[in-house]
Amino acid sequence: MTIARIDAWPADPHANTLRKRLPRWRHVPSMIEGHHVHRFADNAALGAVAFEPARNLPVAMPVPGDLRSFRDFLRTVEAEFRIAGLVDIPPPDSWESLI
C-alpha cells in the first residue's frame, strides 16, 4: 500500500478533484502541472479510502522549488520523508533515462 509519494517529472498534470467538494481543501491547488508530492498527512485526513489503489492518494501539493537534477530530487525526497544523508547517494550514470 502506498502511503506517500513524490511524482517528479510527471507525464500528466495532477488534478485535486476533491478540492471543490471539501471547503477545508481550498488551499490546495486544483491542478498541478509539474512535480508534486502526495503527503501522508494530507491524504490521511480523508481516511483510509485515500490509500486504496483506486484512489491513488488523491491529494497532492506542488514540490517546493524546481527539480533540475537527480540531486534536487534526492534533496526533495530527503526533506519530505526525513531521510538524513540521502543527498549523498551518487547519481546513476544516466539518471535522466529514469525519467
pTM, entire model: 0.85
Amino acid (1-letter code) at residue 10: P
3-state SS class at 92? coil
CA atoms of 34 and 23, how far apart (whole Å)? 24
Give the Cβ contact number of residue 36 at 10 Å: 21
pLDDT at 72: 92
- Strand 14-15 relative to strand 31-32, pairing: antiparallel
E strands of 1-99, at which residues? 5-7, 14-15, 31-32, 36-38, 61-62
Is the confidence at residue 20, as pLDDT, over 60? yes
By DSSP bridging, strand 36-38 and strand 5-7 are antiparallel
Residues 36, 8 contacting (CB under 8 angstroms):
no
Read off the pLDDT of residues 41-98 as tens digits, 9 standing for 90 and up: 999 988 999 999 988 899 999 998 889 988 899 999 999 999 999 989 887 777 666 6
